[in-house]
Amino acid sequence: MNHDPGSVFAAVFVTLFIGHSVGDHWVQSSCQAARKGGSGWSGRLACARHVAGLTVTKVLVLAAVVFTLDLPVTAAGLALGFGLDAASHYWADRRTTLARLATLVRKDEFYSLGTPAHPAAPATADGSYAPTLGTGAYALDQSWHILWLGIAALIIAAL
């Protein structure tokens, strides 16, 4: 079957997004979520175990789609795409790294949204109550991961 690169990119991205959502929320253990940002080897290993489980989830989901749709992907594209995605995920999930980036780009107030550290806690910027808003840290974390899912999908589709 002949696939144009745009449709391969779209199929790979959607599949990685699904795998990411499942792996980041259903596969990740409570222990990994609580400890992955911690200091020392305990935190590093918890984060590494999370990223390993997440990556395996994405690989399994993408394998099903690649074989079902007969997508033309290469081992090099898969290795580079998954490698960059895993490295970027680990980097962000160590927490201090993403917090420093948020401060560098002047998103530190948004990063603290939904936490006691936010100047308007526990309210939104306009002063209204925000019981289900989530946190700015989570929103920035997920948008970082989605950016890298897009980059990984582009690499997988292009190589």
Tokens linked to 98: 């993403």
Q: How confident is the model at residue 136 (pLDDT cuts 50, 70, 90)?
A: confident
Q: What is the mean pLDDT of residues 127-141?
A: 74
How far is the C-alpha of 133 from the C-alpha of 37, rounded, in Å? 22
> Quick one: DSSP state of residue 39?
S
Beta-ladder partners of 129: 123
Q: Which of 25-39, 73-87, 132-146 has the lowest mean pLDDT?
A: 132-146
Amino acid (one-letter) located at 26: W
pLDDT at 126: 72
Give the pTM.
Answer: 0.87
When the pLDDT of each residue in the chain is averaged and rounded to a whole number, the result is: 91
Amino acid (one-letter) located at 35: R
Kindly tell me if the per-residue pLDDT of 129 is higher than 70.
no
Q: How many CB atoms lie within 10 A of CB 139?
A: 16
| Domain spans of the chain, in order of start | 5-111+142-158
How far is the C-alpha of 103 from the C-alpha of 16, rounded, in Å? 28
